[in-house]
């Protein structure tokens, strides 16, 4: 089965048992010595008898463990804060069956149209009723509706979509007094931090699960051919089909990710789009309904270890290697060459090839930026005017 399953598709029921053990210690191992003096043995026996009598008296209930800065004693307050702004998304779409040959009559069967319904999740980001979700939740939908925690139901419309990040923006029609969720900063999330997932898995509305950020910056997950830009947060918070588009929440009650996919080959392996990616394209989705991306005009890759050692660059220095310059493109006009290492663009240090690809796509068509690069053992700067990314 494929690694990445989009959560609003393919029925899947997974039951997780989470066993939490706290404050349990094995008693110290008993040691005995030869009974050399009877009086001491009698005294010890008396003390043991007193201890046994005392142990039969009612003991006070130990206080509940206090919450630490990193691990709350309960997620209830966080959930109460954000849950009202998480919505269930209902869609209908026209599905056309394929034409085929009947095995009985050997004649062609005319394609049939039918209405398919699906479920997903989303969250309200402003008082105007804008809702963030996954593109695959509403792809080709002819009708979209959302239901809130308070059971209010509204029709919604698609405002913008970006298949390359699997992000879509809806707007609730005629919504009043709508709850809003706060957007956080996924860059501050660390591996091991607690996170909470809220959504509509398998039609079970407003389900809450908790886990940790298992990894950050996952790329190359085989989810769909359209999804070109990836920088996933991996989490073991239990998510299932129907969770697609729901929020991944930090312990401050802020959205740090959009739950998007799970691994069908294992348990506790889910993926969420960092909320920063959605925020970067949100203005274009609101204004244009789509994302127009800028372009450097180069092919890039990661820097081999041997090259780093030769140039005295550590892994922490980041950078991306130019593997090909597109003829007639912006980079060729700026005199970039194959083998150049791009260290920064527009004053922003480059972490790796994936970071450069995302950054360059959002800088703006027609904008002139300064590119910091290393060519051989020389550091240099050049100006480059960004073009439009070809389809």
DSSP per-residue letters across 201-257: GGG-TTEEEEEEEEEEEE----S-SS-----EEEE-S---TT-TT-EEE-TTSEEEE
What's 294's DSSP letter?
Answer: E
Asked whether residue 281 carries a pLDDT value surpassing 90, the answer given is yes
Structure confidence at residue 118 (pLDDT): 79
Residue 126 falls in the annotated catalytic set: no
Q: With pLDDT > 90 as the criterion, what percentage of the chain qualifies?
A: 65
Token output for 72: 């709350």
Among 153-157, 290-294, 313-317, 333-337, the least confident range: 313-317
Compute the distance between CA of residue 375 and CA of residue 384 in angstroms, rounded to an integer. 16
Structure confidence at residue 332 (pLDDT): 96
3-state DSSP call for residue 342? strand
Compute the distance between CA of residue 90 and CA of residue 119 in angstroms, rounded to an integer. 5
**Pairing of β 182-183 and β 194-199:** unpaired
For residue 197, which phi and psi values (nearest 5 degrees)? -110, 135
Per-residue pLDDT averaged across 100-129, rounded? Answer: 75
Helices (H) and strands (E) in the chain, counts: 7, 24
Contact 162, 273 (CB under 8 A): no
Contact 240, 12 (CB under 8 A): yes
What is the H or E stretch that residue 89 is in? strand 86-96
On average, the pLDDT of the chain sits at: 83
3-state DSSP call for residue 370? strand
In which region does residue 26 sit, left (phi positive, over 0), alpha (psi from -120 to 50) or beta (all else)? beta
Contact 165, 224 (CB under 8 A): no
Among 1-5, 101-105, 197-201, 234-238, the least confident range: 1-5
| CA-CA-CA-CA dihedral for 223, 268, 274, 172, to nearest 10 | 80
Q: Which residues contact 283 (CB under 8 A, 6 or more apart)?
A: none
Cα 209-214-219 angle, rounded to 5 deg: 115
Compute the distance between CA of residue 241 and CA of residue 120 in angstroms, rounded to an integer. 8
Active-site hit among 8, 206, 244, 361: 244
Residue 361 falls in the annotated catalytic set: no
**pLDDT tens-digit readout, 152-175:** 999 999 999 999 999 999 999 999
Active-site hit among 139, 162, 166, 231: 166
Contact 176, 150 (CB under 8 A): no
3-state DSSP call for residue 286? helix
Contact 378, 352 (CB under 8 A): no
Compute the distance between CA of residue 129 and CA of residue 175 in angstroms, rounded to an integer. 6
What's 290's DSSP letter?
Answer: S
Token output for 305: 């270890």
The rounded radius of gyration (Å) of the Cα atoms in the chain is: 29
**pLDDT tens-digit readout, 57-89:** 455 555 544 545 556 789 999 999 999 999 999
Residue at token pair 């913008």: 160
Contact 200, 89 (CB under 8 A): yes
| All domains in the chain, ordered by first residue | 79-98+110-172 (2.40.10.10), 182-287 (2.40.10.10), 294-388 (2.30.42.10)
* Closest to 133 in 3D by CA, of 121, 125, 145: 121
Residue at token pair 């479920």: 119
Structure confidence at residue 203 (pLDDT): 86
pLDDT confidence band for 48 (50 / 70 / 90): very low
Structure confidence at residue 226 (pLDDT): 86
Residue at token pair 């910056």: 217
Centroid of chain to Cα 89:
19
Active-site hit among 118, 136, 206, 236: 136
Token output for 38: 């009877």
Residue 136 falls in the annotated catalytic set: yes
Token output for 168: 């879509």
For residue 284, which phi and psi values (nearest 5 degrees)? -70, -40
pTM for the model stands at: 0.76
Q: Please report how many Cα atoms fall inside a 13 Å half-sphere around the Cα of residue 189, on the Cβ side.
A: 35
């Amino acid at each position: 089965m494929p690694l990445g399953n989009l959560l609003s598709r393919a029925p899947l029921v997974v039951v997780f048992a989470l066993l939490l053990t706290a404050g349990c210690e094995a008693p110290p191992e008993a040691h005995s010595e030869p009974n050399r003096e009877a009086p001491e043995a009698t005294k010890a026996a008396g003390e043991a008898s007193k201890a046994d009598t005392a142990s039969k008296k009612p003991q006070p209930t130990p206080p509940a463990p206090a919450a630490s800065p990193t691990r709350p004693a309960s997620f209830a307050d966080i959930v109460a804060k954000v849950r009202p702004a998480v919505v269930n998304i209902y869609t209908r779409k026209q599905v056309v069956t394929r034409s085929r040959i009947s095995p009985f009559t050997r004649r062609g069967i005319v394609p049939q149209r039918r209405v398919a319904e699906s479920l997903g999740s989303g969250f309200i980001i402003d008082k105007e009723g804008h809702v963030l979700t996954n593109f695959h939740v509403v792809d080709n939908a002819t009708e979209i509706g959302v239901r809130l925690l308070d059971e209010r139901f509204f029709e919604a419309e698609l405002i913008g979509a970006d298949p390359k990040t699997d992000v879509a923006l809806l707007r609730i029609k005629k919504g009043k007094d709508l709850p809003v969720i706060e957007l956080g900063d996924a860059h501050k999330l660390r591996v091991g931090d607690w996170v909470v997932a809220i959504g509509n898995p398998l039609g079970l509305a407003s389900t809450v699960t908790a886990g940790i950020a298992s990894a950050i910056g996952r790329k190359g997950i085989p989810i769909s051919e359209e999804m070109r830009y990836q920088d996933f947060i991996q989490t073991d918070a239990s998510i299932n089909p129907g969770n697609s588009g729901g929020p991944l929440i930090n312990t401050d009650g802020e959205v740090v990710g959009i739950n998007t996919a799970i691994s069908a080959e294992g348990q506790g392996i889910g993926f969420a789009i960092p909320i920063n990616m959605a925020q970067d394209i949100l203005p274009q989705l609101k204004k244009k309904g789509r994302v127009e991306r800028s372009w450097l005009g180069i092919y890039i890759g990661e820097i081999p270890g041997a090259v780093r050692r030769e140039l005295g660059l550590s892994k922490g220095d980041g950078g991306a290697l130019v593997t090909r310059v597109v003829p007639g493109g912006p980079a060729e006009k700026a005199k970039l060459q194959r083998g150049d290492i791009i260290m920064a663009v527009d004053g922003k240090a480059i972490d790796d090839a994936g970071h450069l690809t995302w950054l360059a796509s959002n800088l703006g068509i027609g904008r002139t930026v300064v590119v910091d690069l290393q060519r051989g053992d020389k550091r240099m700067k050049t100006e480059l005017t960004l073009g439009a990314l070809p389809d």
